[in-house]
Structure 1
Amino acid sequence: MTAPTPASDLRIALFATCFNDTMWPETPKATVRLLERLGCRVEFPTEQTCCGQMFTNTGYAADALPLVRRFVDVFGDYDAVVAPSGSCVGSVREQHRMIAEGDETLMSRVDEVAPKVYELSEFLVDVLGVTDVGAYFPHRVTYHPTCHSLRMIRVGDRPLQLLRAVRGIDLVELPGAEECCGFGGTFAVKNPDVSIAMGSDKARNVQDTGAEVVVAGDNSCLSHIGGILGRQRSGVRTMHLAEILASTEGDPA
């Protein structure tokens, strides 16, 4: 087994993702606070933009190509790129090479950069070798594993390992956890009735746990689940994994 890499030895970039930057800026901020607390030096390249997933998933590969080029240009010199989004990391690692096909130079650059792109829990557990990040969150919590993190990049139980080590937490299992919440990006727009039905099932399962907070690694899915929970006046909050892991007694979430 490869020994964990000392945090201070890595040049790390934060890939905030456009969805987080626009709608959920506290999540990338929490990611930076957490990584810096663990001794990492984190940079935020201001030239970063979208990973191109929205174009790719809807069949506009040609429109995604400039974003792939920008991604390798912006992040190519870093030792690691960390993103609080399994969905966007999945796009970089699984779709960028497909988009680059036909351009040998770009394909080669994607092959160099994509393996250095990590979802937050992967980076913490696999690269830094930590599961106890010194977090404190005294609330009843349930975890929803998002589809891209579960099926595309296969983060497995890494988020649960991190959550179990949080002091004060009451972590309860979510029934039907591996079932999709129904968001699926443009799926929710193209198939609203099915999306709402799936989301309602997920929301009901969340409420059945008695949790105060439902946590996940993708704010896109949390926005869908949270919207339904909010309309139901459930009182259940949604929080990104990064925000719980960044929470301490001195700086609570």
Structure 2
Amino acid sequence: MKVGLFVTCLADLFRPRTAFAALILLRRAGCDVETPRAQTCCGQPAFNSGDSADARKLAKNVIEAFEGFDYVVAPSGSCVGMLKHYPELFADDPAWRERAKNFAGRANELLSFLVDVCHYRPLGVELKALATYHDSCSGLRELKVEPQPRALLANVKGLSLVPLPDVQSCCGFGGTFCVKYPAISNAIVDEKARNIESTNADLLLGGDLGCLMNMAGKLHRRGSRVRAFHLAEIIAGMGDGPAIGEEP
């Protein structure tokens, strides 16, 4: 199957390792993968701020960049959630609404795609550590991504997974929410960090870089020893590299 990898802004600018891990995993799962150079932001910040005009411009560019692929896959439930909202942007434009609907139907979050579509199981991956997993809001609530990450982790030899207290609570990032309401955001992520530390885990894992960067930043400021990774990096065998926030 021909897959277009939607890299996402955060992976491109702050954590390329996540995008490379996604590429490795998709190829191991038997996909023919390309990363269209014309891709840009999914438009979520503009959409969430009420700037529908710019959100439509970005959406058109993304749709055009990924036409011709059987599937569009991104290592972010948040971005995929936005891709699936594209038809709403073109409610008054029949031609683009149909293109957006077709595109949205082909958009998939990476971890669920590997499990539900590719039936992929990581083999030969070993990492001796105690980890806890955070379910990001968009992936969990919009896309129903919950069992898939845990199914993938169950195949990593030596890795033990401990439940995260109040796991379904938001981390406080929320895209533009953390900018608009910084005090509330900080209070939420502080509670999340305390819950993470209470597990005594070595690693914090997740499937969305926005959440992971937010939590990793708070953990670092608290002097925590917990290291954060996107799950794709772990199952791609890249767990021995720098954690989020540790890059030089």
2:37 aligned to 46, 50, 56, which one?
Answer: 46
The runs of at least 4 consecutive aligned structure 1 residues that moved more than 3 Å come to: 131-134
Q: Name the structure 2 match of 1:213.
A: 203
Q: Secondary structure of the equivalent of 1:198?
A: helix
What is the match of residue 7 of structure 1?
none
Q: Aligned equivalents of 2:121 and 2:20: distance in 1?
A: 20
Mapped contact 1:133–1:162 kept (Cα < 8 A): no
Aligned partner of 1:154 among 119, 144, 157: 144
Give the superposition deviation at 1:133: 4.7
SS in 2 for 1:71: helix
Partner SS for 1:139:
strand
Structure 1 residues 12-36: Cα deviation after superposition (integer angstroms, max 9, x where no partner) = 1110011210111110011111222
8 Å contact from structure 2 (residues 193, 215) kept in 1: yes
Structure 2 SS opposite 1:137:
strand
Q: Distance in 2 between matches of 1:161 and 1:86?
A: 17
Taking the aligned partners of 2:11 and 2:73, their CA distance within structure 1 comes to 13
Residue type at the aligned position of 1:114: A
What 5-or-longer segments of structure 1 have no aligned partner? 1-9
Contact kept in structure 1, 2:29 and 2:114, CA below 8 Å: no
Q: Percent identity?
A: 42
2:18 maps to 27
1:57 corresponds to 2:45: no
Quick check: 34-43 or 58-67, which moved more? 34-43
Shift of 1:166: 1.3
Confirm or deny: 8 A CA contact 1:136 1:252 kept in the other structure: no
Q: Residue 140 of structure 1 aligns with which residue?
A: 130
1:149-176 Cα offsets, whole Å, 9 max, x none, are 0111111211111112211101111011
Aligned to 2:187: 197
**1:72 partner letter:** I
**Secondary structure class of the residue paired with 2:128:** coil
1:134 deviation in Å? 4.2
Which residue in the other structure is 1:12 paired with? 3
Distance in 2 (CA, whole Å) between partners of 1:37 and 1:125 is 13
- Distance between the aligned counterparts of 1:219 and 1:133, measured in 2? 24
Partner of 1:166: 156
Query: Whole-Å Cα distance in 2 between the matches of residues 168 and 70 of structure 1?
Result: 43
Give the AA of the match of 1:61. Answer: S
Asked whether 1:239 is paired with 2:233, we answer no
SS in 2 for 1:247: coil
Q: Contact between 2:29 and 2:120, CA under 8 Å: does it hold in 1?
A: no
TM-score (norm 1): 0.92
Give TM-score, length-normalised by structure 2. Answer: 0.93
CA-CA distance at 1:38 after TM superposition: 2.7
1:226 aligns to 2:182 (yes or no):
no
User: Does the Cα contact within 8 Å between 1:11 and 1:41 map onto a contact in 2?
Assistant: yes
Matches within 5 A, 1:58-207: 58-93=49-84, 95-207=85-197
Distance in structure 1 (CA, Å) of the matches to 2:127 and 2:113? 21
| Separation of aligned partners in 2, 1:79 and 1:70 | 18
Task: Please tell me the root mean square deviation across aligned C-alpha atoms, in Å.
Answer: 1.4
2:112–2:145 Cα contact (<8 Å) kept: yes
| Aligned-partner residue type, residue 193 of structure 2 | A
